[in-house]
């Protein structure tokens, strides 16, 4: 029986079913990863824009590439259903904004843990439950980045629900009136040695702990929030490709 949101079933994965998924928020990124890096690619579903593909890594290992959508609520649905079809390892490939001067646009961040400020995660576990990445996948990502000569930062990620208000964007937002408790939140996080903002990792990592699967997150740095609120679009594709390459080669 096909799962309602992802649009495919366990039987659609065949006899040599993958147990690992590369998860991206954008359907375009999922399509690009599948068509560029995998062999014997087959489309599983495009339902709701949650594009999913099955294929093989260059060494022959089966793998799934799937779309989580934007934000933790969508991700939680997709991850739940992917578990139901047998996925046991999740690597999120995303984008993020740096909140530290030394974490430059063009580098990547591997999250060892997340400050999780997400409503979806509260349905999974209490607020104090840790959002921690799998150490083996995390070390593999960092080691691969080093071997490839890609500038990689390992640390804590702030994972929040909103792109504008929750990340203290004022100049680029339609709403310049932040709630009082959000004013100065970026400076506070910077002082706590948090590296970056993104919108999904915290819930993924909490789900990993509760559900018992392995998860990690690698993000391309596409904004430098110590300088400006905007995304550096010109560098985005190259930086995202670095994160993809690190994830793919960490699994070989």
Catalytic residues: 5, 81, 169, 225
Half-sphere exposure of 31 (CA within 13 A, CB side): 8
- Closest by Cα among 88, 87, 89, 92 to 111: 92
The Cα 25–Cα 45 span in angstroms is: 15
Q: Give the chain's end-to-end CA distance (angstroms, integer).
A: 31
The Cα 205–Cα 130 span in angstroms is: 8
CA dihedral 212, 134, 44, 86 (to 10 degrees): -30
Q: For the chain, what is the total number of helices (H) and then of strands (E)?
A: 7, 10
């Amino acid at each position: 029986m096909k799962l309602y949101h992802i649009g495919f079933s366990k039987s659609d994965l065949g006899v040599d079913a993958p147990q690992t998924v590369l998860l991206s928020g954008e359907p375009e990124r999922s399509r690009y990863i599948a068509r560029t890096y995998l062999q014997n690619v087959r489309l599983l579903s495009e339902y709701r824009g949650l594009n999913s593909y099955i294929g093989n890594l260059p060494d022959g290992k089966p793998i799934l590439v799937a779309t989580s959508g934007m934000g933790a609520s969508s991700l939680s649905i997709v991850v739940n259903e992917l578990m139901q079809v047998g996925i046991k390892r999740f690597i999120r490939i995303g984008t993020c904004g740096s909140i530290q001067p030394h974490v430059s646009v063009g580098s990547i961040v591997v999250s060892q843990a997340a400050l999780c400020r997400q409503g979806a995660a509260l349905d999974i576990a209490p607020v104090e439950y840790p959002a921690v990445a799998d150490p083996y996948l995390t070390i593999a990502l960092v080691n691969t980045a080093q071997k490839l000569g890609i500038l990689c930062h390992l640390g804590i990620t702030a994972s929040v629900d909103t792109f504008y208000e929750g990340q203290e964007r004022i100049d680029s937002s339609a709403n310049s009136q932040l709630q009082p408790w959000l004013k100065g939140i970026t400076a506070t996080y910077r002082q706590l040695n948090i590296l970056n903002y993104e919108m999904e990792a915290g819930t993924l990592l909490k789900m990993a702990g509760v559900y018992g699967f392995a998860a990690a997150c690698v993000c391309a740095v596409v904004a430098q929030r110590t300088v400006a609120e905007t995304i550096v679009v010109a560098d985005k594709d190259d930086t995202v490709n670095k994160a993809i390459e690190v994830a793919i080669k960490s699994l070989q």
